[in-house]
């Protein structure tokens, strides 16, 4: 027998089959899986930050423009505020969910969408502006790392916005079901997580780049 034989129950009285067992609830199981996806997303960003770290030496810019030349800290700060307010709006929506208020939730999601879209518009405008000044992924290794890292984050925001729209539709059509509530919780994790990542992007890519 196993090393824990003494812990084994008496075979004469042991429970062998469990008709009443139905497993964990759906939402907790799905949330754990989504949390794990976010862990892998965290590793994705960690790798991109590592690449940025390696490609942010002076020689990585090959004599071309460095973040100290083109980062606009106050402009990017406005992006930060937009994203944080978007997360706040999402949080307000989720408190409305606890009150089972569909209208409150939709308002929160709409607020989160508008503010998130504002973030994305500001981001895209920034990249276009850089391109107009000849700063693209093809300029140097340093600008490649800078632009790809920030735009991978922007892509996450884009898909998050799409997801918010889908959830608005699903909540309007289906109401609060196990599926929709579980997805709203996963989306909340996703949206908060992207804001947390943005804190690192803003500090270590924009501000640090500006200071160096």
Partner 1 sequence: MLVDLPGGWNPLLGRLAWSQIPYDNPILAPLFVAVVLGGIAIVALITYYGKWGYLWKEWLTTVDHKKLGVMYIIIGLVMLFRGFVDGMMIRTQQAWAVGPDSSGVFGALHGYLTPFHYGQVYTAHGLIMILLAATPLLVGFMNIIVPIQIGARDMAYPYLNALGLWITAAGAALIMASLFIGNFAHNGWFGYAPIFEIQYSPGVGVDYWMWTLQLLALGTTLGGINLLVTIIKMRAPGMTWFRLPIFVWASLSANIIALTSFPALQVALGLVAADRYLGAHFFTAGLGGNLMLYTNLFWIWGHPEVYFVILPAFGMMSEIFPVFSEKPLFGYITMVLASFAIAGVSWLVWLHHFFTMGAGPDVNSFFSVATMLVGIPTGVKVFNWAFTMYRGRLTFTAAMLWALGALFLLLIGGLTGMMLAIPAINYMVHNSVFVIAHFHSMLLVIVYAVFGSVIFWFPKVFGFKLDEFWAKTMFWLFTGGTVLVFVPMYMLGFMGMTRRLDYVFNTNWHPYLLVMEGGIVVYTLSVFAFFVLLYVSIRDRVKNRVGADAWGTSRSLEWLTHSPVPFYNFAVTPHVNARDEAAWRRANGIAAVQPAKYVDIHMPNNTPVALYIGALTFVLGFALTWRIWWLCLASLVAIIVLMIVRSYRGDPGYIVTAAELERMEREAIARERQVDGSAGEPVVGGAPAVGRPAMAYERSDLPKTSTPPSMGPGAHH
Could you list the residues that contact partner 1 (CB under 8 A)?
1-5, 8-9, 11-21, 23-24, 28-30, 32-33, 36-37, 39-41, 43-44, 46-48, 50-51, 54-55, 59-62, 64, 131, 136-142, 144-145, 148, 162, 166, 169-170, 173-174, 177, 179, 183
Q: Is 181 helix (H, G, I), strand (E, B) or coil?
A: helix
CA distance linking residue 78 with residue 153, whole number of Å: 16
Shortest distance, CB of residue 78 to partner 1, whole angstroms? 26
Our CB check for partner 1 shows the closer of 74 and 138 to be 138
Q: Which of 186, 167, 164, 165 is nearest to 175 (CA)?
A: 167
**Following DSSP, what letter does each residue of 118-140 receive, concatenated?**
HHHHHHHHHHHHHHHTT-STTT-
Our CB check for partner 1 shows the closer of 32 and 199 to be 32
Shortest distance, CB of residue 179 to partner 1, whole angstroms? 5
The 10 Å CB-count burial string (b at 16+, else e) for 25-45 is eebeebbeebeeebeeeeeeb
Shortest distance, CB of residue 103 to partner 1, whole angstroms? 21
Shortest distance, CB of residue 90 to partner 1, whole angstroms? 19
């Amino acid at each position: 027998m196993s090393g824990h034989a003494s812990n084994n129950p008496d075979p004469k009285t042991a429970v062998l089959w469990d008709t009443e067992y139905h497993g964990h609830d759906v939402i907790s199981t799905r949330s754990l899986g989504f949390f794990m996806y976010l862990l892998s997303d965290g590793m994705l960003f960690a790798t991109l930050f590592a690449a940025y770290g390696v490609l942010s030496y002076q020689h990585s810019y090959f004599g071309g423009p460095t973040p100290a030349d083109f980062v606009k800290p106050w402009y990017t700060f406005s992006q930060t505020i937009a994203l944080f307010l978007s997360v706040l709006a999402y949080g307000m929506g989720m408190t409305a969910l606890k009150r089972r208020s569909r209208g409150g939730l939709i308002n929160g999601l709409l607020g989160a969408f508008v503010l998130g879209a504002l973030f994305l518009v500001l981001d895209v405008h920034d990249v276009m502006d850089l391109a107009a000044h000849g700063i693209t992924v093809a300029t140097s290794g340093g600008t490649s790392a800078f632009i790809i890292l920030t735009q991978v984050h922007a892509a996450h925001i884009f898909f998050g916005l799409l997801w918010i729209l889908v959830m608005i539709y699903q909540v309007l059509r289906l109401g609060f079901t196990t599926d929709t509530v579980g997805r709203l919780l996963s989306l909340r994790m996703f949206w908060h997580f992207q804001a947390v990542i943005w804190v690192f992007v803003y500090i270590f890519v924009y501000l640090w780049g500006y200071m160096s």
